[in-house]
């Protein structure tokens, strides 16, 4: 059946062809080609400042507060251990003259070094030393001493025995490493209580006791004021492209916060003092500037809980911080001397060898600023595939009109020049045929002269034309785009700071027509 | 849609059909084609089927005739368009006479005048069509006037057309003019492949006591219709306007219905089955229907004949493998770089398809009337003059709501040779001049014809061509 149907079709076609035999048809059927003008909306987009600047190392956005922090530094932290504090390096000594030699016990106290008062402690190291003296020419002396408050690392009470030959001195010592100390409840004077007894010639035996080089792993009591030394650290500000604005920008809202924390497991840590705080900005190219507080802020204390927060951060009203940030240093140098128990308080407090003093500072500048006309240049590599270049080649002309509603108080001029792979300029893309300029302009939003806040967005319109020759150059030769951007704030003058908020909008409506070559294949 | 469905749609749209005795404007048998598709009051025998079954009673008594694929199959075919001649085609698609570096012909670069010329070609819409009809078998036997005549036929009709919206041509050539509304509502596409099995009966009505006519006959055909494929635009309400800022305001609302025999295999893109194609001569129908033709004919004074009939009353119920593709949505494209907007546009224009429970389409119901006069004086041999009017009641393939008049002349100067000609006006094709030959050997008759001789003589200015052949055995 199929065959029959097919034969019938063939018959019909043959007859038709015969009848139409005088008709000539092209040997090559090929689509014609022509230019057509397409009027299209290239793009309609709104960008908040948040969208535009995105996330950069020196800029952060707080959408909740509608704020932009142009320079939002890392936390610059200094950390100092208190090991130097919980050392007693001096020697404490006591002399016991003419000890009774009838075996009776004599109690006395060896003072702690540095006049410290220790209620309890654990030793990392330290030494107790006893030197016995025997003036008898005939009788050997024996001195036995026990320390009721000290338990050695072997768990036994510290006991020392010294045998002193005639007419001689003899010394014995106890290594206190790992030992613990708890002041006996009967102790009256600060220091180690000792109970000593002696035998030998009467009135011929005496002794000296020494304490020295105590290093504690923990201690509760009184330790005298001690400086931990001066800490000096340099931190990079990571300005990135912001460094290009040096000398062109006035930042009006900057803050510096300082925070301290004495990290201790003790419920009642020692007080930490900070002296001689110096914050200095340093440019790599040279030049420094010190940050100064109106009321000199070079000496302060952590509180009883080991915390410190600068109640009034550095602001332009109490410091030169805006000048300091506007200086746009590459490096921040923070120098400070840390002192434990700076007031030499006798109050009993605790410290551990693992305790650390942290001190942090953090800069931020809100986007309330003025920018003088500033230009910078960038080179972008054009990543255009060959397929896309082939499509571009079909373009015969483009006229794109950009209608811009700028709600950001920044005026910008953008010039884009395409170059070949040797950076030889081809043509300027951003030639504005309306304003006869080689850059397109985005007028900044109008700013209220009283509040310096955005009053109304500003409209601007610009049209860019590319002819077929330029499109040809773009498709065939363009490899780089030299982008020149010039910006300034749109306040009443170039020194009047304006508020730039994260939700400020710029709306682009780009439309126009494309003259396109419709070209099909065979 | 899948490639398959596009292919099938293309075949149906561009290859097809009008066929034997179908609708008010469809192509018909070769004899009728040669008379400018004039057939109402001048046909007899198997050529009455689908026109007016009552005409069977104008065959001789005890007469049997049939047509089959031998010696010539009954095939009619019409291909063309209503907008572009061969000259135009050569000009626009024949290249500019130059070759590129690879030896390929370069396409002609159209000037503004060329674009205007091309656009003007579509001023009356751009319709492309191809129609074909095949009658593998038809037979009729007429007994005597009191018993009547019986006939059976099997005929396939494949037909379709596609109308290119004028706005689309305007857009393609000239681009989009701001604020102008481009309406695509005139887009149309319709095609089907159906097969009719027809059983006809006619007899005279001597019971009517009248003396005016020599005889009056009535006839009835019952048709069983099988549909193997259908697609058609149900409605289109789609437009484009370029607004302020060149924003593209697009209104898209359209629906296409389709049905395909399951023997075509997987034809829909949403069909997840792995059905394969198994096309044969007798396909599983996607739709079935019943149709009726009835008519009355009369003869007067031996030389006059009159005919009235209504054909193809009925519907096809498409209920197997039926689907709808539709798009619906108003949107404004404001940003061509926005992939979401582009995707929305694509989805709206491409639409989504899903299976449906079915739909119905009308058969090409038509009213026909005609009169003929057999002139035996003043000319050598005899000449039969016939005048027809055909009015379709719908616009399904082969039919038109635009009435069509035709006038035909069948001259038999030598008895074995018939020279036939005719003209047709109206319908969807407009004017056509037909010419054909008939060779009558007594038992076997051959027909060759074209209903558009005017296109033939135009040569390269022609926009279409029509050809029809056939043969009939008579006993």
Backbone torsion region of residue A407, taken as left when φ is above 0, otherwise alpha when ψ lies between -120 and 50, otherwise beta: alpha
Q: What are phi and psi of A270, to 5 degrees?
A: -70, 155
Q: H or E stretch including A386?
A: helix A386-393
Q: Does A422 touch chain B (CB under 8 A)?
A: no
Residue B171: both structure tokens together = 């857009």
The answer to whether residues A236 and A214 belong to one domain is no
Taking a C-beta distance cutoff of 8 angstroms, is the pair B170, B29 a contact?
Answer: no
CA A257/CA A280 separation, integer angstroms: 15
Residue range A447-461: mean pLDDT, rounded: 88
Last residue of a domain, one of A318, A337, A368: A368
**Is A179 in the same domain as A216?**
yes
Which comes out higher in pLDDT, residue A383 or B227? B227
A28, part of any domain: no
User: Do the beta carbons of residue A404 and residue A460 sit within 8 Å?
Assistant: yes
**C-beta atoms of B93 and A29 within 8 A:** yes
Query: Maximum CA pair distance of chain A?
Result: 158
Residue-wise pLDDT tens digits, B282-329? 899 999 999 999 999 999 998 999 999 999 999 999 999 999 999 888
SS3 B87: helix
Q: Do B110 and A33 touch (CB under 8 A)?
A: yes
- Going by C-beta distance under 8 Å and a sequence separation of 6 or more, which residues neighbour residue B212? B300
Is the pLDDT confidence value at B275 over 90? no
- The per-residue DSSP string of A453-476 comes to SEEE-EEEEEEEEEEHHHHHHHHH
The answer to whether the Cβ–Cβ distance between B246 and A403 falls below 8 Å is no
Judgement on whether residues A458 and A398 belong to the same structural domain of the protein? yes
Q: Which two tokens stand for residue B43?
A: 């046909």
d(CA A237, CA A337): 23
Contact (CB<8Å) A519/B107: yes
Domain harbouring A180, CATH code = 2.60.120
**Separation CA A63–CA A54 (nearest Å):** 12
Q: Are residues A352 and A377 in the same domain?
A: no
B109 band by pLDDT with thresholds 50, 70 and 90: very high
Percentage of chain B exceeding pLDDT 70: 95
Cis-peptide into A271, omega within 30 deg:
no
Beta bridge partners of B249: B241, B332
Last-in-domain residue among A190, A222, A254: A222
Option in A12, A20, A30 nearest B456 (CB): A20
Would the ipTM clear 0.90, i.e. be above it?
no
Whether A176 and A295 share a structural domain: no
Reduced to 3 states (helix: H, G, I; strand: E, B; else coil), residue B67 is strand
Residues A130 and A101 in one domain: yes
Q: What is the DSSP letter of A394?
A: T
Instruction: Write out residues 235-264 of B within 8 Å (CB-CB) of A.
Output: 242, 245-248
Residue A338 lies in a domain: yes
The verdict on a CB contact (< 8 Å) between A11 and B72 is: yes
Number of structural domains, chain A? Answer: 3
User: Strand locations in B261-365, DSSP E?
Assistant: 287-300, 304-318, 322-333, 352-355, 359-362
How close B228 comes to chain A (CA, Å)? 15
Residue B434, helix vs strand vs coil: strand
Test A34 with B115 for CB contact under 8 angstroms: yes
What are the start-end ranges of the H helices in A200-329?
321-326
| Assigned fold of B3-83+122-474 | Porin (2.40.160)
* Confidence (pTM): 0.67
Residues A505 and A404 in one domain: yes
A265 and A380 inside one domain? no
Distances (CA, A) of A211 to A119, A129, A186, B176, B271: 16, 6, 20, 101, 96
Report which secondary-structure segment, H or E, holds B118: helix B112-121
User: Residue A43 contacts by C-beta under 8 Å, 6 or more apart in sequence?
Assistant: A508, A509, A510, B335, B336, B337, B338
Same domain, A377 and A513: yes
Question: Residue B315 and residue B261: Cα distance in Å, rounded?
Answer: 18
- Reduce the DSSP state of residue A387 to 3 states and report it: helix
Backbone angle region of A482, left / alpha / beta, with phi > 0 → left and psi within -120 to 50 → alpha: beta
Give the contacts of A70 (CB within 8 A, at least 6 positions apart).
A58, A59, A242, A251, A365, A366, A367, A369
Considering only CB atoms, B75 lies closest to which of A8, A24, A42, namely: A8
Do residues A409 and A444 share a domain?
yes
pLDDT, tens only, B122-154: 887 788 887 888 888 999 999 988 899 999 999
Helix (H) or strand (E) holding B424: strand B417-426
Q: Is residue A47 part of a domain?
A: yes
What are the angstrom distances between the C-alpha of B141 and each of A220, A271, A338, B272, B475? 131, 127, 126, 50, 9
Best interface-test mutation with A: which of B182, B246, B465 has the largest number of A CBs within 10 A?
B246
Is the pLDDT at A508 greater than 60? The verdict is yes
Residues A241, A309 within the same domain: yes
Reference A430, options A397, A400, A394; nearest CA is: A400
- The residue range of the domain holding A404 is 33-56+373-494+501-519
pLDDT tens figures, B416-468:
899 999 999 998 888 899 999 999 988 999 999 988 888 888 888 888 888 89
Q: What is the pLDDT of residue A114?
A: 81
What's the pLDDT at B201? 97
Give the residue-averaged pLDDT of B65-82: 87
B116 touches chain A (CB under 8 A): no
Return the exposure string of B46-67: e unless at least 16 CB atoms fall within 10 Å of the residue's CB, then b: bbbbbbbbbbbbbbeeebebbb
Residue of A nearest to B132 (CA): A9
Partners of A19 on chain B (C-beta within 8 Å) are 450, 456, 465, 467
How large is the average pLDDT for residues A476-488? Answer: 88
Residue A356 sits in the same domain as residue A455: no
What are the extents of the domains in chain B? 3-83+122-474
Task: Report d(CA A367, CA A49) in Å as an integer.
Answer: 11
């Amino acid at each position: 059946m199929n065959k029959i149907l097919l034969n019938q079709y063939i018959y019909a076609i043959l007859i038709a062809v015969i009848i139409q035999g005088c008709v000539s048809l092209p040997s090559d059927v090929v689509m014609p080609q022509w230019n057509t003008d397409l009027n299209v909306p290239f793009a309609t987009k709104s960008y908040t400042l948040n969208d535009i600047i995105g996330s950069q190392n020196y800029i952060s956005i707080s959408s909740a507060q509608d704020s932009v922090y142009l320079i939002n530094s890392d936390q610059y932290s200094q950390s100092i251990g208190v090991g130097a504090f919980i050392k007693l390096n001096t020697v404490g000594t006591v002399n016991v003259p003419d000890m009774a030699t009838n075996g009776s016990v004599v109690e006395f106290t060896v003072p702690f070094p540095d006049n410290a008062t220790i209620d309890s402690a654990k030793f990392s190291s330290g030494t107790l030393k006893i030197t016995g003296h025997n003036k008898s020419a005939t009788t050997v002396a024996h001195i036995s001493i026990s320390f009721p408050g000290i338990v050695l690392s072997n768990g036994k009470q510290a006991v020392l025995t010294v045998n002193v030959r005639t007419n001689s001195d003899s010394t014995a010592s106890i290594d206190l490493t790992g030992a613990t100390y708890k002041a006996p409840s009967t102790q009256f004077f600060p220091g180690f209580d000792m109970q000593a007894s002696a035998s030998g010639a009467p009135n011929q035996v005496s002794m000296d006791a020494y304490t020295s080089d105590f290093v504690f792993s923990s201690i509760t009591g009184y330790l005298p004021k001690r400086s931990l030394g001066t800490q000096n650290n340099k931190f990079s500000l990571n300005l990135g492209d912001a460094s290009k604005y040096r000398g062109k920008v006035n930042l009006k809202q900057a803050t510096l916060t300082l925070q301290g924390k004495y990290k201790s497991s003790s419920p009642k840590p020692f007080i930490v003092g900070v002296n001689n705080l110096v914050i200095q900005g340093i440019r790599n190219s040279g030049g420094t500037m010190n940050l100064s507080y109106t009321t000199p802020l070079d000496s302060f204390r952590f509180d009883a809980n080991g915390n410190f927060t600068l109640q009034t951060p550095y602001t332009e009203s109490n410091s030169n911080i805006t000048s300091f940030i506007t200086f746009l240093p590459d490096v921040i140098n923070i120098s400070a001397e840390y002192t434990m128990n700076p007031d030499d308080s006798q109050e009993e407090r605790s410290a551990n060898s693992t305790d650390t003093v942290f001190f942090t500072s953090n800069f931020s500048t809100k986007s309330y600023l003025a920018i003088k006309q500033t230009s910078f240049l960038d080179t972008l590599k054009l990543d255009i595939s060959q397929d896309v270049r082939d499509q571009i080649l079909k373009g015969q002309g483009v006229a794109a009109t950009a209608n811009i509603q700028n709600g950001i108080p920044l005026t910008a001029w953008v010039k884009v020049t395409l170059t070949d792979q040797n950076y030889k300029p081809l043509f300027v893309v951003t030639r504005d045929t309306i304003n006869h300029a080689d850059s397109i302009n985005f007028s900044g939003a109008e700013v209220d002269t009283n509040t310096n806040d955005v009053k109304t967005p500003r409209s601007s319109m610009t049209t860019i034309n590319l002819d077929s020759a330029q499109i040809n150059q773009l498709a065939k030769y363009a490899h780089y785009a030299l982008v020149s951007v010039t910006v300034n704030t749109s306040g009443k003058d170039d020194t009047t700071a304006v508020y730039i908020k994260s939700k400020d909008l710029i709306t682009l409506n780009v439309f126009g027509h494309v003259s396109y070559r419709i070209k099909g294949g065979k | 849609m899948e490639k398959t469905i596009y292919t099938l749609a293309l075949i149906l749209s561009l290859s097809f059909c009008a066929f034997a005795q179908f609708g008010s404007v469809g192509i018909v048998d070769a004899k009728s084609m040669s008379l400018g598709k004039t057939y109402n009051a001048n046909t007899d025998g198997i050529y009455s089927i689908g026109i007016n079954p009552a005409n069977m009673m104008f065959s001789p008594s005890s007469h049997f005739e049939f047509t089959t694929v031998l010696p010539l199959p009954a095939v009619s075919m019409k291909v063309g368009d209503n907008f572009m001649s061969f000259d135009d085609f050569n000009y626009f698609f024949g290249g500019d006479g130059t070759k590129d570096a690879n030896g390929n012909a370069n396409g002609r670069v159209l000037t503004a005048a060329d674009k205007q010329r091309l656009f003007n070609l579509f001023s009356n819409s751009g319709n492309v069509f191809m129609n074909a009809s095949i009658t593998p078998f038809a037979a009729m036997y007429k007994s005597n006037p009191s018993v009547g005549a019986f006939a059976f036929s099997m005929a396939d009709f494949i037909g379709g057309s596609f109308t290119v919206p004028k706005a689309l041509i305007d857009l393609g050539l000239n681009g989009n003019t701001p604020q102008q509304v481009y309406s695509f509502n005139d887009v149309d596409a319709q095609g089907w492949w159906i097969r009719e099995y027809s059983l006809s009966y006619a007899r005279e009505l001597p019971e009517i006591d009248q003396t005016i006519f020599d005889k009056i006959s009535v006839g009835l055909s019952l048709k069983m219709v099988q549909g193997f494929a259908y697609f058609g635009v149900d409605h289109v309400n789609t437009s484009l306007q370029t607004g302020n800022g060149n924003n593209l305001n697009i209104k898209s609302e359209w629906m296409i219905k389709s049905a395909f025999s399951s023997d075509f295999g997987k034809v829909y893109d949403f069909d997840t089955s792995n059905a394969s194609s198994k096309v044969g001569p007798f396909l599983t129908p996607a739709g079935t229907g019943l149709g009726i033709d009835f008519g009355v004919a009369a003869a007067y004074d031996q030389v006059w004949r009159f005919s009235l009939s209504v054909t193809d009353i009925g519907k096809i119920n498409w209920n197997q493998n039926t689907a709808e593709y539709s798009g619906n949505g108003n949107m404004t494209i404001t940003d061509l770089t926005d992939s979401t907007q582009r995707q929305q546009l694509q989805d709206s224009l491409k639409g989504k398809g899903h299976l449906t429970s079915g739909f119905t389409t009308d058969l090409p119901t038509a009213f026909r009337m005609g009169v003929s006069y057999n002139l035996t004086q003043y000319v050598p041999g005899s000449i039969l003059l016939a005048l027809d009017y055909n009015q379709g009641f719908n616009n399904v393939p082969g039919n038109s709501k635009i009435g069509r008049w035709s006038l035909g002349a069948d001259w038999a100067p030598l008895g074995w040779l018939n020279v036939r000609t005719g003209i047709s006006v109206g319908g969807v094709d407009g004017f056509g001049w037909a010419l054909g030959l008939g060779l009558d050997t007594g038992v076997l008759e051959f027909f060759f014809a074209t209903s558009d001789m005017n296109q033939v003589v135009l040569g390269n200015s022609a926009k279409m061509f029509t050809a029809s052949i056939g043969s009939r055995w008579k006993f």
